[in-house]
Amino acid sequence: MKHYLRSFFLMVVVFFAYGYESANAYDESYVHRHLNAKAVETSNLDAYMRGQLGFGEGIETKFQGLSLVFLVEEGGTREDDFPCYFYHFHDPLKPWDEAGLKNGILGESSVIWAQKGYDVDRTWQDARRLYSQALTSGNEAEWALMFTSLGRLMHLVADLAVPAHVRDDAHPRPEAYETWAKYQDVKGLLNFESLSVSTDIFSHAVQNGMIPITALWDQDFYDGTNPSEDIHGLAEYTNAYFFSSDTIFETSEYPHPNIEDTNYFSLDWKNPETVVREDGNVDRKVYLRNIRAAVPHRLAVAGYFTEDCSAGTPCWQYPFVLDGEVYKDYASKLLPRAVGYSAALLNYFFRGQLEITAPPEFVYSIIDGLDAAQGFRFIKARVRNATAGEEATNDAGQPGQLVAVAQYRLRTNYQADLSADPPTMDSRDEYYSYSVSAPLQVESLTSASPGLECTFDFTANPIPPGITDLYLKVVYKGKLGAEQDAVAVGMKDLCEPQHLSYWNSTDYFLLNGELRKAEEIENDPNVEDYDFFRPVSISEELGFSGSAPGAGTPMVVSVQDMPPARYFRVILLTDVPGGYYVRDHLVSKPYPPGWPYPDDFTVDNGLWTYDMPSVVYQELDGPLWKDTPVYQYRGIIQHQMSYFIRYYPYYIYNADQFPAPPENAEGPYPVTINFP
């Protein structure tokens, strides 16, 4: 019994040591970090981070003090932790459930490993989950873990550019190609460009119910008879064009490369190549080249007895070996693909784009200033699927989901009466806060303009009025193209909350450039008796537009019979920093109503169109702070205001001279908001 136990223990030790050494294809501490960093730089991620996600520093953004690039590099390193390295193999000539290490006995294929499991922070599904959570929470830990998860997936893709990993060749010793690559990288000699891999590659994914990223691995194109350098699965290319140390001319299991793919029959044995080694010594070697490749590359180097072992004899394959010059040629083709395919993985993950535009009412939200403390409880927007070439149409009974996220910085000195306005860079929180809407269920999300009109409910988490740096994001989760649980994002930089006040200043009359009370005029024998000097009440409707508004402009604000010396205030959100237009319909009646005027008597009935500047409180590119001034009128502070006053015979007056009425103590006059 002791003998058997000792044997079992020895087997386990050898097994794990064997596995550890065999799986480090590209060194995790150097080469995988280099490959992942290069893929990030090559991908579209920098532009996506800036344009779709609102991270102004792009790929230089830090999460929990660590740069995005570092996090992706770190994921590439962690993927070689035990026991992950057993699952980094994929043989494209075998069924996928047998394509892993030693026919899947020691580890399932990496194409399955990449999307198997949940809540393990290494699979595609985990990265998607973390992405969705980070978008709606802003949690830096979730952002960091997501990028680390993507780095692990990129490691799996890069390993497909290692012949040993696609020809089921595990070694109970450090793999020579990996050792060479690490040495080159440490010395700064591992320089290469990326191969461009379009996201069109994912349209060639095998239709087996798995996520389309499988197209990066294996498209079931190569069957052993049809090698191709086109953009098929990376495992297919590597398997067909390169040797691993123990699969040189393994014609029974790996039909290519074979002798017909090479220049074997035209080798000049008498004139070997001169090779200067890194130690300065000179070797003379005969190299076998793969001439099937569009650009032939060194495939193997002949040993001392190769010429004596002619093709077809039992010994002829053994003298061929792989050396540094062979690896240099391998790397010149495989590393660009490792980077290009890894970048394609990132581009596919971050491909989902939404376009957000203003609703028919032009304003994204508007509230009564009387209820400002309640915040913005509804956001309206048009949302369009702007993902190139992919529809967002969900399967029956499995609707997608839209969630709106308001991202902003709370002001530290905000006062509801705007007495602390305008804010400064230093009067806001260091970190962003978030308000998240209730989810909307959608069967599909059109790609046609102007998009789906959506009303997002923030009742449970309103957007406060005292904020700066406001961004609106909309997150779609659902089917996108062939991916079932994809994520698409859109972002809109909104103007900060704008306070508009509308005044009824007919408690005064401007007579010959002088402010007069009605009773003064009425009792002045030197002034003719004109009806229009008396106060009026105002009923008013307001609509907003990005261009000169017409009759169809929705009127979203209405006030009824506002007395003299009163004002109403509305607070709105728009997306046009340069300003917008207001359509203003005003009707006035004598105040107080009654004799000698009938109840339906109207003094004024006018329609005006005018432009209005927007409000911007945010940090622009660099250290530039943009703010919008406020104005005080009759003791009330606002960003913009309009006041109605009657005059004769001309209007020349300084609005600052209007006195503050005692009615200010009553606060804003209530209005009706016809929104959403």
Q: Is the peptide bond before 676 cis (omega within 30 degrees of 0)?
A: yes
Q: What is the pLDDT of residue 283?
A: 86
Q: Contact 169/244 with Cβ under 8 angstroms? A: yes
User: Nearest CA to 380 among 394, 390, 369, 366?
Assistant: 366
Q: What is the pLDDT of residue 282?
A: 87
Residue 606, CA distances (Å) to 486, 506, 540, 593, 602 in order? 52, 16, 10, 20, 11
Residue 254, CA distances (Å) to 242, 310, 427 in order? 10, 20, 67
List all residues 6 or more positions away from 288 whose beta carbon is below 8 Å from its beta carbon. 262, 263, 264, 267, 298, 299, 300, 301, 302, 320
Q: Hunting for tokens 């790609």 — which residue is that?
A: 447
- Chosen CATH of 25-255+334-349 out of 2.60.40, 3.40.50, 1.10.575, 2.90.10: 1.10.575
Residue 508 bridge partners (DSSP):
517
**Which residues does the chain have with pLDDT short of 50?**
1-24
Read off the pLDDT of residues 327-381 as tens digits, 9 standing for 90 and up.
999 999 999 999 999 999 999 999 999 999 999 999 999 999 999 999 999 999 9
- Listed in sequence order, the DSSP H helices in 227-319 are 234-241
Residue type present at position 83:
P
Fill in the DSSP letter of residue 362: S
Q: Contact 171/94 with Cβ under 8 angstroms? A: no
Tokens for 76?
């590439």
Give the start-to-end residue ranges of the domains of the chain.
Answer: 25-255+334-349, 354-493, 497-673
3-state secondary structure at position 356: strand
Q: What is the pLDDT of residue 172?
A: 60
pTM score over 0.85: yes
User: Nearest CA to 366 among 22, 672, 91, 7?
Assistant: 672
